[in-house]
A and B are shown apart, each in its own frame.
Chain A
């Protein structure tokens, strides 16, 4: 009796310490869980805070005179050589008649984006009758003025430290009080290709590049992946070869993506002679990259089909192919589609292998086909993140928001397909 009591006392003496340890352990667990979630919160907050303003662009209202003397001195409008920028310059000069020095005038002209001249040209192309008349137009400001108006450049710091001078700030203030400055939706971001000028740069080229690439990827990876999964699950003899393929697929799923880029460079570009920077090559590389994901998901989907279906079909005299293609495939299809969409979303976010096959070039034109030079959305993020201009930092965040939006959409589709079409047995 005495012994039992002493054991009990020993246990009770340590109880408080043990309970305290228990609470500390639980707290550590809670904190660890919180780290990931807090990071996610901080990340999205900073992303939206930085990127939201890029969806708007500052515009300035100018009264332009499209005088025939300036634009068409020979009586005819020459679309290539006509001085459209001159029209904008003189409109600015009319607003600030007291600016005279050469340097000052240059600073004044820097307020407006070079896109303004193109805008005048496009107006004249559309309606040639405007020549010789006057018009009031809203044109985009330069990226620096845009940053200033959005409050991303602090006018309080030393003049040498910021990209806009004191008198430019004064002019912008004056324009603002005259109601000539307005922020509008940044359409250029969605309709333009890449550009060295932030206010002209858009993601359309990169987006189209990604679309072409994903088309190639889905056209190759889905049928091949599903076919491979069917073979491995339904037909492969259980021997060493099947084991080898199995180990292989699991390994390929974990091979660093950059290695696939090396493969693409050596095989598709150097050996087969396919064009560099082309969405076709990117799509080929990405389909090899997503193939393991699709195969693994499809096999799981096939395994989830209950054996009774198979046995019933066999019992009615169906051949193996008929069992698979008429009965198992339709039931496993939602799972296969979900796996494919998840593979595609991985392919959409992938950029390292694309760097290897030359899809990092600076490409202004929006690609129109599978062999045109192109970049992809994540690579565009990479390119812009490297640019020193502040306005590009903002646009990088905006491009990331668009990219994440697409990923979210794809994953939501996958979840909906899973919820809607998957059966419980």
Chain B
């Protein structure tokens, strides 16, 4: 039976359970006119029955679906002839793959012999059997649960409190998913990174000057020893981030100042949504624009001035990334400026300073912590930005501070290492997770710091 059919059936059972629970509660006290004799509203007795009907059944189904594939494979493997069961892990994996492909009617690598055929049949048989068992068990438990709840309904059963307790648990579970996500990120990245650092020492990764992750497939291959010194990646990331910031911070800040202090209300009403559009454009689109329009333009301009410009220069990627970040900086700076109490502004103006003097000498110093917090968040955004650099920055790890040369970044390397075929125990793949760990830690620090600045000084003037 298909899972969707099963879920639909469960839903139907829940509706029936609700109806029976509700009507039993009413029947016990003798009709709707006497529902005041019940502890809770009649509907709650219905929900009480639904909870008992659905929750155990769904829990069983989830567990089953999580463990079923492995169990089926284990059964099939244990049914194989002795010769096959002695195989090493990799060979066995391949064999299991072939069995699964044959069972589902896909192409199979190698010869199909009688052993394989028998195993595939067995595989199909066991999965079918498992499906049937699952359907019977789930529907049975749902029915049993509903009946149990139905029999427990009494006028003095505190149905509302029980249902509300269950809802509260569900709410707690939903809110802890945010925590689980963070834990998941940390664990998944950390485990692979630790495996990487067992192969490559941490000091080499952090301080090595040479990055070429191509590891040799054959031992006698030339020029692919694989070296994992990540310093060129860090400097490349910093270079592009610095270019982006030198575009985004002054422009974003001046935009915020202009819109807060000088522009008419009408212009503000037009300019703000336009800048928000800038923030809503997908980064892949910025990347396309950087690679196809801005990069050639930077190259022509640079060559016109007599510089040698790489076609994937850091400058093009940084410029476009800077434009992308302008709205972030300007909206956070806007918040910080508006958080400064107007008494300070009025006081400065009343003492005869011009508006620009009020801004630069009174408001900006007062808003500075908030602005710094905003800039930190923007830096974290620039460091973690992926698509623009993947499309417009280079792949070669150059250790340079020249914005006209091609550099590569941490995110670009993560993408290039993990896109395409990969084996999960090579240093090359694991290196991506080590880079991911660095990326996560650095952006985490910047975010915590930035958010703390932004929040603390916003509250201080309230």
Q: What is A's interface to B at a CB cutoff of 8 Å? A: 11, 18-19, 21-22, 25-26, 28-33, 35-37, 39-40, 43, 46-47, 223-225, 227-228, 230-232, 235-236, 244-245, 247-252, 254-260, 262-263, 265-267, 270-273, 288, 291-292, 295, 319-321, 345, 348-352, 355-356, 360, 378-379, 381-382, 385-386, 393, 396-397, 400, 403-404, 407, 411
Q: Given contacts A22-B355, A393-B292, is CB(A255)–CB(B271) below 8 Å? A: no
CA distance A260 to B182 in the complex (A): 10
A12: min CB distance to chain B, Å:
11
8 Å CB contact of B383 from A256, A349, A355: A256
- Asked if B447 contacts A396 (CB within 8 A), the reply is no
CA distance A306 to B380 in the complex (A): 36
- Asked if A33 contacts B185 (CB within 8 A), the reply is no
Please, which residue of chain A has its CB at the minimum distance from the CB of B66? A272
Question: For residue A37, which residues in chain B have a CB less than 8 angstroms away from its CB?
Answer: 271, 274-275
B429-462 interface code vs A (CB 8 A; 1 in, 0 out):
0001100100110011001101100000000000
Closest 10 CB pairs of A and B: A256-B384, A29-B258, A349-B282, A266-B188, A32-B254, A227-B174, A25-B356, A352-B386, A231-B171, A228-B175
Question: For residue B411, which residues in chain A have a CB less than 8 angstroms away from its CB?
Answer: 256, 258, 352
Question: For residue A262, which residues in chain B have a CB less than 8 angstroms away from its CB?
Answer: 185, 188-189, 414, 418, 432-433, 436
| CB under 8 Å from chain A, chain B span 345-379 | 352, 354-357, 359-360, 377
Q: Tell whether B209 is near chain A: CB-to-CB under 8 Å.
A: no
Q: Tell whether B285 is near chain A: CB-to-CB under 8 Å.
A: yes
Please, which residue of chain A has its CB at the minimum distance from the CB of B175? A228
Q: Given contacts A36-B274, A37-B274, A227-B174, is CB(A255)–CB(B384) below 8 Å? A: yes
CA distance A37 to B292 in the complex (A): 20
- Asked if B386 contacts A254 (CB within 8 A), the reply is no
B110: min CB distance to chain A, Å:
22
8 Å CB contact of A245 from B178, B280, B381: B178
- Asked if A350 contacts B282 (CB within 8 A), the reply is yes
8 Å CB contact of A32 from B258, B380, B419: B258
- Asked if A352 contacts B433 (CB within 8 A), the reply is no
8 Å CB contact of B288 from A224, A355, A396: A396
- Asked if A321 contacts B278 (CB within 8 A), the reply is no
8 Å CB contact of B285 from A18, A228, A400: A400
Question: For residue A33, which residues in chain B have a CB less than 8 angstroms away from its CB?
Answer: 254-255, 258-259, 263, 271
Q: Tell whether B251 is near chain A: CB-to-CB under 8 Å.
A: yes
CA distance A352 to B410 in the complex (A): 13
Beyond the given A33-B259, A256-B443, could you list 18 further A-B residue pairs with CB under 8 A, ordered by the A residue number? A29-B258, A32-B250, A36-B274, A39-B323, A223-B174, A227-B170, A228-B174, A248-B179, A251-B451, A252-B178, A255-B185, A257-B384, A259-B185, A262-B436, A265-B418, A355-B419, A379-B284, A400-B288
- Asked if B175 contacts A227 (CB within 8 A), the reply is yes
CA distance A152 to B430 in the complex (A): 45
Q: Tell whether B154 is near chain A: CB-to-CB under 8 Å.
A: no
Q: Tell whether B8 is near chain A: CB-to-CB under 8 Å.
A: no
B379-406 interface code vs A (CB 8 A; 1 in, 0 out):
0110111110011000000000000000
Question: For residue A295, which residues in chain B have a CB less than 8 angstroms away from its CB?
Answer: 178
CA distance A234 to B287 in the complex (A): 42
Q: Tell whether B184 is near chain A: CB-to-CB under 8 Å.
A: yes
Q: How large is the interface on B (under 10, 10 to 19, 20 to 34, 35 or more residues)?
A: 35 or more
- Asked if A266 contacts B433 (CB within 8 A), the reply is yes
Of listed B69, B250, B283, B288, residue having the most chain A CB within 10 A? B288
A404: min CB distance to chain B, Å:
7
- Asked if A270 contacts B424 (CB within 8 A), the reply is yes
B267: min CB distance to chain A, Å:
8
CA distance A47 to B285 in the complex (A): 10
- Asked if B277 contacts A40 (CB within 8 A), the reply is yes
Q: Given contacts A231-B171, A266-B433, is CB(A29)–CB(B255) below 8 Å? A: yes
Question: For residue B386, which residues in chain A have a CB less than 8 angstroms away from its CB?
Answer: 256-258, 352, 355
B300: min CB distance to chain A, Å:
15
CA distance A413 to B164 in the complex (A): 34
Question: For residue A259, which residues in chain B have a CB less than 8 angstroms away from its CB?
Answer: 185, 189, 384, 436, 439-440, 443
- Asked if A232 contacts B188 (CB within 8 A), the reply is no
Question: For residue B191, which residues in chain A have a CB less than 8 angstroms away from its CB?
Answer: 266
- Asked if A404 contacts B285 (CB within 8 A), the reply is yes
B259-290 interface code vs A (CB 8 A; 1 in, 0 out):
10111000000010011011011111101110
Question: For residue A228, which residues in chain B have a CB less than 8 angstroms away from its CB?
Answer: 171, 174-175, 177-178
Question: For residue B383, which residues in chain A have a CB less than 8 angstroms away from its CB?
Answer: 256
B337: min CB distance to chain A, Å:
12
- Asked if B354 contacts A385 (CB within 8 A), the reply is no
- Asked if A349 contacts B274 (CB within 8 A), the reply is no
Question: For residue B175, which residues in chain A have a CB less than 8 angstroms away from its CB?
Answer: 227-228, 231-232, 236, 245
CA distance A40 to B327 in the complex (A): 12
Question: For residue A400, which residues in chain B have a CB less than 8 angstroms away from its CB?
Answer: 285, 288
Question: For residue A235, which residues in chain B have a CB less than 8 angstroms away from its CB?
Answer: 168, 171-172
Q: Given contacts A231-B175, A235-B168, is CB(A254)–CB(B377) below 8 Å? A: yes
Q: Tell whether B312 is near chain A: CB-to-CB under 8 Å.
A: no
**Between-chain CB contacts (< 8 Å), 20 pairs:** A25-B356, A29-B254, A37-B274, A39-B278, A227-B171, A228-B174, A230-B171, A231-B168, A232-B175, A252-B178, A254-B447, A255-B440, A291-B177, A291-B181, A321-B168, A378-B285, A382-B284, A382-B287, A382-B288, A400-B288
CA distance A358 to B175 in the complex (A): 29
- Asked if B257 contacts A29 (CB within 8 A), the reply is yes
- Asked if B380 contacts A252 (CB within 8 A), the reply is no
Q: Tell whether B71 is near chain A: CB-to-CB under 8 Å.
A: no
Q: Tell whether B160 is near chain A: CB-to-CB under 8 Å.
A: yes
Question: For residue B171, which residues in chain A have a CB less than 8 angstroms away from its CB?
Answer: 227-228, 230-231, 235
A389: min CB distance to chain B, Å:
13
CA distance A378 to B391 in the complex (A): 13
| CB under 8 Å from chain A, chain B span 153-196 | 160, 164, 167-168, 170-172, 174-179, 181-182, 184-185, 188-189, 191-192
8 Å CB contact of A263 from B181, B251, B255: B181
- Asked if A224 contacts B174 (CB within 8 A), the reply is yes
- Asked if A43 contacts B289 (CB within 8 A), the reply is yes
Question: For residue B168, which residues in chain A have a CB less than 8 angstroms away from its CB?
Answer: 231, 235, 321
Please, which residue of chain B has its CB at the minimum distance from the CB of A224? B174
- Asked if B443 contacts A411 (CB within 8 A), the reply is no
Q: Given contacts A19-B354, A254-B443, A265-B418, is CB(A36)–CB(B178) below 8 Å? A: no
Question: For residue A36, which residues in chain B have a CB less than 8 angstroms away from its CB?
Answer: 251, 255, 274-275, 278, 323, 326-327, 330
Question: For residue A393, which residues in chain B have a CB less than 8 angstroms away from its CB?
Answer: 292
Q: Given contacts A26-B262, A36-B327, A273-B69, is CB(A407)–CB(B282) below 8 Å? A: yes
Question: For residue A348, which residues in chain B have a CB less than 8 angstroms away from its CB?
Answer: 282
Question: For residue A258, which residues in chain B have a CB less than 8 angstroms away from its CB?
Answer: 384, 386, 411, 414-415, 436, 439
Question: For residue B174, which residues in chain A have a CB less than 8 angstroms away from its CB?
Answer: 223-225, 227-228, 231
CA distance A348 to B174 in the complex (A): 23
8 Å CB contact of B181 from A18, A30, A252: A252
CA distance A382 to B66 in the complex (A): 34
- Asked if B259 contacts A352 (CB within 8 A), the reply is no
A155: min CB distance to chain B, Å:
22
CA distance A350 to B444 in the complex (A): 20
Please, which residue of chain A has its CB at the minimum distance from the CB of B189? A262
Question: For residue B189, which residues in chain A have a CB less than 8 angstroms away from its CB?
Answer: 259, 262-263, 266
